[in-house]
């Protein structure tokens, strides 16, 4: 029981460390960091937790035989191949020291992936991980809200919350990285929101989903916006086709439509204000042609969603009336 509690605690630390990034960089090189490279050998709470988790896992494996390894080990092959080729690229890297820093971080990510594949086996384990992903998403969203209100970068106890002009990245790094973290976390939030779980988990999913969607707007990450719009559109169409409609799904569809409409409006505004900027320094080619890809894509997704909703509206109305009749 104690070993299990320690394992869960360390997993929670790893998940919460994704946005907080409580780490140090050994052999730090400022010149490389200013150019966007990983400036040092990253050692974090995740690194320490992995050492303890693997020590427990290996010791347990030596004591008792685990036959399930043949089931999950093949699932790790794509990640292992990626690490292999990343390691081979070290042979031709111009700066092998910087490349080794990147490789060390990739190996850490792969070890997390491998550990979860090998040890997470029950529904309760999966739910535990999702809950902490949503907790991390919620608190990161609160940090982004606060930074948006203050309008300046803040550093407290080794945790840095960054603001780049009008773009907010929270504690994750760049605004695009923040957008990626939020979008990847919104998927589990939506899944848990629609799953048959305890009401407390449902409320957590709803709050995390709503706060994360708003925080995503403040990052001004066009890639994050488009990824979120595509994800929600495909999920909504799948829900309509499979008859998963419920009050919760209707609320999600409303968020989809509102988000896409907002993306169209903001995208058009960005295209207008960037009209005088040339693309990659090419005279006569306005950057607006690039920026217009976001509102154009969002408009097409909004049209597709609206068309599908219109086609499914009679069945939706009957389902809602049936639900009200059952309540009476």
Whole-prediction pTM = 0.71
Are 286 and 276 contacting, i.e. CB atoms less than 8 angstroms apart?
yes
Domain range enclosing 259: 221-328
Check: CB of residue 140 under 8 Å from CB of residue 19: yes
Secondary structure E strands in the chain: 23-26, 41-44, 154-156, 159-164, 167-170, 278-279, 282-286
User: Across the 328 residues of the chain, what is the mean pLDDT of every consecutive 10-residue run?
Assistant: 74 89 78 69 88 88 71 83 90 84 90 88 88 92 86 80 82 85 88 79 86 85 82 72 58 68 74 68 67 76 66 53 45
Shared domain for 11 and 116, answered yes or no, is yes
93 falls within a domain = yes
Which of 208, 243, 261 terminates a domain? The answer is: 208
Assess whether 3 and 42 both reside in one domain: yes
Let me know if residue 140 belongs to a domain.
yes
Instruction: Tell me what pLDDT residue 129 has.
Output: 92
pLDDT at 31: 72
Give the total number of structural domains in the chain: 3
Distance separating alpha carbons of residues 4 and 151, to the nearest angstrom? 42
Let me know whether 109 and 41 are in one domain. Answer: yes
Together in a domain, 249 and 302: yes
Question: Which pLDDT does position 318 carry in this prediction?
Answer: 55
The per-residue pLDDT for 252 is 62
My answer on whether 7 and 115 are in the same domain is: yes
Residues 72 and 139 occupy one common structural domain: no
Is 242 domain-assigned?
yes
Q: Assess whether 62 and 109 both reside in one domain.
A: yes
Residues 80 and 181 in one domain: no
- The per-residue pLDDT for 328 is 43
**5 lies in the same domain as 114:** yes
What per-residue confidence (pLDDT) applies to 265? 73
Same domain for 97 and 12, yes or no, is yes
- pLDDT value at position 278? 66
């Amino acid at each position: 029981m104690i070993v299990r509690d320690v394992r869960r605690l360390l997993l929670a630390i790893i998940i919460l460390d994704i946005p907080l990034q409580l780490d140090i960089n050994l052999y730090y090189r400022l010149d490389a960091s200013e150019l966007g490279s990983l400036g040092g050998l990253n050692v974090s709470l995740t690194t320490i937790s992995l050492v303890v988790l693997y020590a427990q896992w290996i010791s347990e494996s030596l004591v008792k035989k685990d036959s399930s390894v043949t089931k999950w080990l093949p699932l790790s092959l794509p990640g292992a191949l990626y690490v292999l080729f990343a390691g081979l690229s070290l042979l031709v890297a111009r700066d092998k020291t910087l490349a080794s820093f990147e490789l060390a971080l990739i190996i850490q990510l792969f070890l997390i992936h491998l550990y979860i594949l090998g040890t997470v086996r029950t529904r309760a384990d999966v739910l535990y991980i999702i809950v902490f992903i949503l907790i991390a998403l919620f608190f990161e969203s609160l940090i982004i809200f606060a930074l948006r209100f203050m309008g300046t970068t803040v550093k407290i106890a080794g945790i840095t919350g960054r603001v780049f002009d009008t773009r907010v990245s929270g504690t994750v790094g760049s605004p695009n990285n923040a957008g990626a973290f939020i979008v990847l976390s919104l998927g589990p939030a939506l899944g848990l929101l629609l799953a048959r779980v305890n009401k407390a988990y449902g409320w957590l999913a709803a709050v995390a989903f709503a706060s994360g969607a708003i925080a995503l707007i403040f990052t001004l990450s066009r890639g994050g916006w488009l990824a979120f719009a595509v994800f929600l559109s495909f999920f909504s169409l799948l829900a309509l086709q499979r008859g998963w409609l419920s009050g919760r799904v209707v609320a999600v569809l409303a968020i989809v439509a509102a988000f896409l409409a907002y993306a169209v409006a903001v995208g058009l505004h960005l295209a207008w204000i960037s009209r005088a900027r040339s693309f990659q320094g090419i005279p006569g080619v306005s950057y607006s042609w690039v920026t217009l890809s976001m509102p154009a894509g969002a408009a097409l997704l909004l049209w597709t969603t609206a068309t599908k909703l219109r086609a499914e509206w009679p069945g939706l109305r009957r389902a809602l009336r049936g639900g009200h009749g059952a309540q009476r």
